[in-house]
Chain A
């Protein structure tokens, strides 16, 4: 696994986009620590590839601090819940997003996410999701946006590349 780019927001932004992603890796991993300025009760991270938001499907499972659990498929680009202005001060949600075989040009692209919204209240949540982008184009850019409000200053997002059978530095054959 090798770091491609990492950014910490110096000013609030509603969306973060990585462009010109190198095609030299097998898979991509995105690790992010984010919080939204929104005062809505529930805000989530949405994923986009190549500036596309169409042809996505997903299924996610969640557990809430209230004890509620369930599954849903209505949020097709879901990549985790976001901490908001309603949550414990200075707490951030965490998400990891795995995108295998992103350079392929003959198959649809799958992705999986593992996320947690951390707050000292019943609104905290953890979720895992499996999604599909039904498009054969190689992924060259990735977008993450907050469904409401901005990502706050201090939010961090890192993009990593993974090479099959290697640690990102030493390649096996």
Chain B
């Protein structure tokens, strides 16, 4: 059975609270929002992983006495 998503509507003029189903438009917006956050988190994690890989590579090259790339040096020198 499909869950019916609802919203609690609080009327500030009366204090009355009612529960109503979300509209089709609200459900569509929700899906858009969910996908946007997933994409944002995926991009953030990818950027974090890229930076970590650069730092790891830079550290290994320093220990081995090898030249660093510009991107690797940028992770160590401000």
Contacts and interface: CB of A to CB of B under 8 A. Distances in A.
Nearest to A17: B9
Interface stretch (A3-11, A85-93, A130-138): A3-11
Given A19-B10, A150-B5, A68 B34 contact: no
Given A13-B19, A15-B26, A145-B30, A42 B38 contact: yes
B69 interface: no
B40 A75 contact: yes
B8 A77 contact: no
A15 B22 contact: yes
A42 B45 CA distance: 12
Contacts of A145: 7, 26, 30, 33
Contact of A16 (B7, B15, B29, B41): B7
Interface of B: 5-15, 17, 19, 22, 26, 29-30, 33-34, 36-41, 43-44, 47-48
29 contacts: A5-B15, A13-B6, A13-B8, A13-B19, A14-B5, A14-B7, A14-B30, A15-B5, A15-B6, A15-B7, A15-B26, A16-B7, A16-B10, A17-B9, A18-B12, A19-B9, A40-B38, A44-B37, A46-B33, A68-B48, A74-B36, A74-B43, A75-B33, A75-B37, A145-B30, A147-B34, A147-B37, A159-B10, A159-B12
The 7 closest A-B pairs by CB, nearest first: A15-B7, A20-B13, A14-B5, A147-B33, A13-B8, A74-B40, A147-B34
